[in-house]
Amino acid sequence: MAQSLASWISKSIVQHDREHGADFDTPWTGSSKCGQLVKFTTYRTAENPHAVVRGVISDRTHTVAIEFDAAATDAFETSVAGEHAESLTSCLRAVVRLKAFAFRVNAPATGSDVPRVSLHARAWEVVSGDRSDPVFYSQAVDVSNDEGVHSVLRKWWFGV
């Protein structure tokens, strides 16, 4: 499955900028993209069963923060035909196909002038894999640190 992970994250940022600029309400309209869920940073709990799940997804060369739409996560975690429901966070290291997502831009980290980018996943499906799989591309770097997208991120954040 690792072979199916192309390098698409940075290219998608540049393509979205070229076609839509900083219009973050316009979701990704290209082909669906596959990535490996390499980390979760928030989880749902019994006290907060509808919390927003956040994590990190990786392609062959880059990682990016990802936030999963709460309603779409509710639907994903709903039992179908009496089968046991699976939590999204149980899919750690699985490969997912993002069918619909939008870009978000966040404040620069302390000491940096480059904003951070993240994805807001609106629709996805698990293709294969689970937490027993290795991280396929452990050398992938945060796309916000890629100089090839710095000008786009600055334009989106600062409007220049």
Whole-angstrom Cα distance, residue 108 to residue 42?
Answer: 21
Could you tell me which CATH number the domain at 2-158 has?
2.40.50.960
> What b-and-e string marks burial along 45-78, b requiring 16 or more CB atoms within 10 Å of the CB?
eeeeeeeebebbbbbbbbbbbbbbbeebbeebbe
Residue pair 122/102 in contact by the 8 Å Cβ criterion: yes
Q: What is the pTM of this model?
A: 0.92
Q: Tell me the longest C-alpha to C-alpha distance in the chain.
A: 53
pLDDT digits (tens, 9 = 90+) for 43-100: 999 999 999 999 999 999 999 999 999 999 999 998 777 777 789 999 999 999 999 9
Domain ranges of the chain: 2-158
